[in-house]
Amino acid sequence: MKLDDFNVVADLIGMKKRSREAVWLMEVEGMTGYFAAQQMDISESTVSRAHARFRRAVGKLNTLSGHLPLG
């Protein structure tokens, strides 16, 4: 995933900076939630919730992409 695309989704769901960075570590760098949480010094449950919200948003956008009007 490109950084710009990642940021669009994160902005749409109002993801906070540290959660955003932790989810980036998971999505792009391949870290586990545990290690991303340790790296960002936030709870693993916070990272897990942020990651789930991000993945749901990506899924919704992928579903809607065929139905959105162009232009």
Q: Which domains does the chain have, with CATH numbers?
A: 3-65 (1.10.10)
Judge whether residue 63 has pLDDT over 90. no
The predicted model scores a pTM of 0.86
Contact 33, 42 (CB under 8 A): no
Q: How many CB atoms lie within 10 A of CB 33?
A: 20
Q: How far apart are CA 58 and CA 32, in angstroms?
A: 19
C-alpha closest to that of 9 among 64, 67, 46: 64
Share of the chain above pLDDT 90, in %: 76
Mean pLDDT, the chain, rounded, equals 91
Average pLDDT over every residue of 64-68? 72
Give the side-chain half-sphere CA count within 13 A for 42: 17
